[in-house]
Structure 1
């Protein structure tokens, strides 16, 4: 029962992680052309004066300023830590499959934003690695890993139950264990 339940829970994620394992392994041979979009605007004067004069080193933008940035350039820095200097505030906006940032000149109010989209293969590869995917995805990966461990261990128990009828069971299990060890010892220096 545990074997089929863990398989059912992890089936689609196992397929996704297997496919992205291949795409990550062949990343150099998969071409992609990133799409970069740049936008500029000017922060209205009253909002420019709402920027703190001496903010904490990594404070987020004030709510009304973040809302104005969304309206002006279409990127949302809400709640993200900013890098504050005397001249500007810079907010990095990384995400799976792409990148982004927004900068506000603290003197002129000029907003500069850029987003980069590296495509759906990059998106799936970043999900595979958990890169910039957030807390929910972090927990999903861990729960999926536990389901895979259950699937593997219950599969091993099923192999033991059926091994006496299949003489090649334990040599194949041994090969599955030995092969990565041999490759690591012989080819990875």
Structure 2
């Protein structure tokens, strides 16, 4: 991916993480889900939508002081890159429900490429504030769940069974609403 002078970044905000899409077009920011995507609506969640020529990014999340849960629905019309900006050291649990993006992580002179697999939880520990993690998406539809625990609440990670339970609960909500 070469440098493009007119890149505009749109932002979906999480308490300790932000997801930014880098595209040549500007995106329209909405706080409601467009009617054609209403089947992905999760009751009681804060909604952030970025829509543009690239497609649409829908982020729905709940925040507690100790952690956040985010359900993402991305419908990309073209190849897209999403940058993960970490504003606070945290541990994130990512489960891709549909679609398999590639994650590029810092690795010295060459990034390490990790294939995010469907229906497998990926645990990522961010030990520093960084924007070096990037996700690559081909054109297509993607659904993912994220649970993010700031390191100041690491005691929650002594037993991660609750993480698996939340991911399973959210998976049922997403697919109940989808069909």
**TM-score interval w.r.t. the shorter chain?**
under 0.3
TM-score, normalized by length of structure 2? 0.25
TM-score, normalized by length of structure 1? 0.24
Larger Rg: 1
The structure with more strand, counted as a fraction of residues: 2
The structure with more helix, counted as a fraction of residues: 1
